């Protein structure tokens, strides 16, 4: 009934190197969980299958990527172990990443994390529950409609785009 009688609304569609996505794009720690969790476990255990895969990834070494990036016209360089670009306030069942997300403002939300240890991950997740990401050490948060990443080396780990593996490995990624 809503499809037939509801109102039509425009929403933002993000692009990465000319490939569209509507929900989330990510790279780094925990990002592979969506596509590495075996399908039969997803069907059998649902959300708990993802938690199990997350615990396995938590125990793996943390890799940081050196990246030159441009956001809102400002060029910067940093080391990041987790990059998340989204148009949603709820990601992977968690409501704490972004506040006041609008789906039709021609902007997406960008979160850059510099986790260097498991202790940093636990501390940051705990702080995200009650604090603004802008005020947490090791996090950079932006709203933008264009971001360009130039990685020092061609990445071995794939981006996850709307839960699927993006196999187009390159050193440069542009999000619009």
3-state SS of 112-161? EECCCCHHHHHHHHHHHHHCCHHHCCCEEEEEECCEEEEECCCCCCCEEE
97 confidence band (pLDDT: 50, 70, 90): low
pLDDT in tens, 31-84: 888 778 888 998 999 888 888 888 888 888 888 899 999 998 999 999 999 898
CA distance 21 to 87: 9
Q: Tell me, what's the pLDDT at 149?
A: 94
Q: Which of 115, 166, 123 is nearest to 139 (CA)?
A: 115
Instruction: Give the span between the Cα atoms of 102 and 98, in whole angstroms.
Output: 10
Mean pLDDT of the chain: 84
- Weakest mean pLDDT among 29-33, 94-98, 112-116, 134-138: 94-98
**pLDDT score recorded for residue 69:** 95
Q: How far is CA 121 from CA 36, 76, 114, 131, 133, in A?
A: 20, 23, 9, 15, 13
**What does the block give as tokens for 109?**
């939300």
Which pLDDT value is given to residue 98?
A: 67
Pick from 23, 8, 115, 7: which is nearest to 60 by CA?
A: 115
What pLDDT does residue 101 have? 80
> Residue 65: phi, psi to the nearest 5?
-110, 130
35 or 26, which is more confident: 26
């Amino acid at each position: 009934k809503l499809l037939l009688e509801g109102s039509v609304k425009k929403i933002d569609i993000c692009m990465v190197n000319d490939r569209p996505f509507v929900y989330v794009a990510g790279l780094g720690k925990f990002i592979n969980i969506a596509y590495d969790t075996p399908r039969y476990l997803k069907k059998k255990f649902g959300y708990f299958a993802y938690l199990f895969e997350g615990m396995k990834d938590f125990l793996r070494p943390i890799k940081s990527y050196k990246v030159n990036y441009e956001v809102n016209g400002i060029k910067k360089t940093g080391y990041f172990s987790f990059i998340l670009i989204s148009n949603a306030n709820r990601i992977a069942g968690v409501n704490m990443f972004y506040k006041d997300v609008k789906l039709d403002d021609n902007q997406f939300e960008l979160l850059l994390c510099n986790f260097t240890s498991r202790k940093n991950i636990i501390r940051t997740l705990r702080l995200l529950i009650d604090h603004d990401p802008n005020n947490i050490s090791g996090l950079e948060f932006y709203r933008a409609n264009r971001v360009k990443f130039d990685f020092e080396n061609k990445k071995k780990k794939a981006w996850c785009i709307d839960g699927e593996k993006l196999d187009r490995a390159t050193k440069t990624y542009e999000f619009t």
